């Protein structure tokens, strides 16, 4: 048995085990389904941390980390989307007829239809955001890691929109993207340049920052939609 067979079998076992409960109607399942789409609520703690530390002394040190961490989330998002669009598509568990899963309660068959599940871009973005929180405070890092695992990743497994390996791969992408700009000379340059722009052009800088935080709160939903359209154009589907 190959490693691919082992991984595929593991993914299928987890999907079947969770589907037994997810397919049942009930208040808990309804709340979990609502939570999977509540991106603004799930991202709110990270945005609060960013705004808090941006204005907390020592300003220069904290702002350098915030700037690098925010760019890290963008790098993680872009890398995740490139992999999702570029790799062979993988059906989400709930859409894979071979698994024979029941449609989770309070969802529709069109949920995320046509979107590849590997890797999880939610996992990538939240993993990068957790790295930023760790860079600012170890305590906040631990708390936000628990937040991301319990409120972001587990629900997506539970309702069948991702396999465990989708989540794991997304986390690797997110951590790699964050570390690429949080550590090393590139990160220092980003922090220094970003702070200089914030001081020299405060109105323009903070306008762009607010726009970026809005996109982050919505998990770059519109950008992901455009990426899917571009993929369709590239493949000649339109």
Cα–Cα distance for residue pair 209/203, rounded to 1 Å: 10
Burial (CB count within 10 angstroms: exposed 0-12, middle 13-18, buried 19+), residue 45 = middle
**What string of H, E and C letters represents the secondary structure of 16-68?**
HHHHHHHCCCCHHHHHHHHHHCCHHHHHHHHHHHHHHHHCCCCHHHHHHHHHH
Contact between 138 and 115 under an 8 Å Cβ cutoff? The reply is no
> Which single residue is written with the structure tokens 């999880």?
120
Model confidence, pTM: 0.85
Model pLDDT for residues 115-167, shown as the tens digit of each residue = 778 888 889 999 999 999 999 999 999 999 999 998 888 888 888 788 899 99
> Which single residue is written with the structure tokens 């992999």?
83
Average pLDDT value over all residues in the chain: 83
Name 83's Cβ contacts closer than 8 Å, sequence gap at least 6.
118, 119, 169, 173
Contact between 116 and 90 under an 8 Å Cβ cutoff? The reply is yes
Residue 237 has pLDDT above 70, yes or no: no
Q: Which region among 38-42, 99-103, 125-129, 211-215 has the lowest average model confidence (pLDDT)?
A: 99-103
The single-letter DSSP state of residue 119 is S
Q: What is the Cβ-side half-sphere exposure of residue 21, based on CA atoms within 13 angstroms?
A: 12
Contact between 175 and 119 under an 8 Å Cβ cutoff? The reply is no
Q: What is the Cβ-side half-sphere exposure of residue 136, based on CA atoms within 13 angstroms?
A: 34
Model pLDDT for residues 182-198, shown as the tens digit of each residue = 887 887 888 888 888 98
Cα separations in angstroms, 178 against 9, 27, 69, 75, 79: 31, 37, 6, 7, 11
Model pLDDT for residues 38-86, shown as the tens digit of each residue = 888 889 999 999 999 998 888 888 988 999 999 999 999 889 888 887 8
Cα–Cα distance for residue pair 215/74, rounded to 1 Å: 10
């Amino acid at each position: 048995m190959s490693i691919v067979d082992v991984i595929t079998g593991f993914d299928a076992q987890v999907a079947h085990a969770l589907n037994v409960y997810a397919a049942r109607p009930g208040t808990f399942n309804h709340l979990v389904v609502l939570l999977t789409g509540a991106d603004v609520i799930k991202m709110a703690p990270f945005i609060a941390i960013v705004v808090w530390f941006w204005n907390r002394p020592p300003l220069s040190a904290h702002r350098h980390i915030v700037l690098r961490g925010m760019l890290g989330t963008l790098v993680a998002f872009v890398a995740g989307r490139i992999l999702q669009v570029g790799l062979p598509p993988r059906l989400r568990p709930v859409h894979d007829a071979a698994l024979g899963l029941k449609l989770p309660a309070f969802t529709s068959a069109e949920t995320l239809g046509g979107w590849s599940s590997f890797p999880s871009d939610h996992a990538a973005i939240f993993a990068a955001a957790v790295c930023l929180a760790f860079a600012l405070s170890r305590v906040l890092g631990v708390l936000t890691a628990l937040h991301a695992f319990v409120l972001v990743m587990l629900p997506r497994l539970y309702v069948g929109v991702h396999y465990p390996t989708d989540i794991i791969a997304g986390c690797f992408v997110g951590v790699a993207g964050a570390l690429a700009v949080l550590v090393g000379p590139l990160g220092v340059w980003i922090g220094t340049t970003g702070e200089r722009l914030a001081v020299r052009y405060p109105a323009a800088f903070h306008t762009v920052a607010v726009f970026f935080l809005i996109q982050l709160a919505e998990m770059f939903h519109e950008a992901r939609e455009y990426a899917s359209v571009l993929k369709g154009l590239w493949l000649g589907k339109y």
